[in-house]
Structure 1
């Protein structure tokens, strides 16, 4: 029988992927750190239960997405496009493998559309899983993805 991973060890091993997910969702390294801190602070008191689950990574990823969605609902503002990935690597060590033209186009999307695109294409989640995480209907998720793709294509076509 395997033992549950220690919280500190798990965070040391899985912290960077969580931070990358939060960065891709927000486009802001500082906000990404705050979201991950919030998610981990919620996970710590429940760790004994979370760590016994089949996939503790999925549980904590869900907490990251929910923290992001919670911020969306609180602050409902558009966000400036993120800095280019090379600047981010220099300051935080985070690397994102997204073509230079696509990332700024995604960064200029409304947060709901960007969140849906990131969860669909970066995390590989289904419409139903995204709907469950974000608290919207699956039809709305499909609409956000479709509108986001159309907006990115239109912006790239202008270039």
Structure 2
């Protein structure tokens, strides 16, 4: 498979994954663009991997996790934090408000926890593959997901009272 064939077949899925990680389509595009430049530069190494798509997903996840440490995000990110969800009367937009609230809760999770949740519940990956993407042990993945879900439960209960 050539780099171009890989991009044609997997770019949309990688972009969807990045949107779930970042919660922002513009940041997701930047993340995927930066990752795909690195993929192209290291294409021989990517093709030698047992599972090139998993290798690229790990590169994308590592890039996402490293963004917080890098200074360039502070230079590129020109918007404020997402605004708090505005209360809306029950109507057809109620689902949108609920979705926005979940996005807000996810945005407050540490990046590693958010990545683990996206890999589990959006990408539907088993613990072993999540561990490979995050570069940690399977037990660590279970611990990360458990802590993330506990945080989300606490947010949900706090919002309901």
Structure-2 change in CA distance of 1:131 and 1:48 (3 Å): closer
TM-score (norm 1): 0.68
CA distance in 2, matches of 1:83, 1:37: 29
8 Å Cα contact 2:65/2:111 also seen in 1: no
Which residue matches 2:30? 34
RMSD: 3.2
Which residue matches 2:156? 156
Match for residue 74 of structure 1 among 49, 70, 73: 70
Query: How many residue pairs align between the two structures?
Result: 140
The answer for unaligned runs of 5 or more in structure 1 is 85-98
TM-score (norm 2): 0.67
8 Å Cα contact 1:80/1:107 also seen in 2: no
**Where does 1:23-102 land on structure 2 (aligned, <5 Å)?**
23-51=19-47, 55-74=51-70, 80-81=81-82, 100=99, 101-102=101-102
Which residue matches 2:93? none
SS in 2 for 1:125: coil
Q: Cα offset for 1:9?
A: 3.3
1:49-72 deviation line (CA, Å, top 9, x unaligned): 534655432222121112112213
Q: Cα offset for 1:83?
A: 9.8
Asked which structure has the greater CA Rg, the reply is 2
CA distance in 1, matches of 2:125, 2:69: 21
Q: Cα offset for 1:128?
A: 4.3
Structure-2 change in CA distance of 1:59 and 1:136 (3 Å): closer
CA distance in 2, matches of 1:113, 1:80: 19
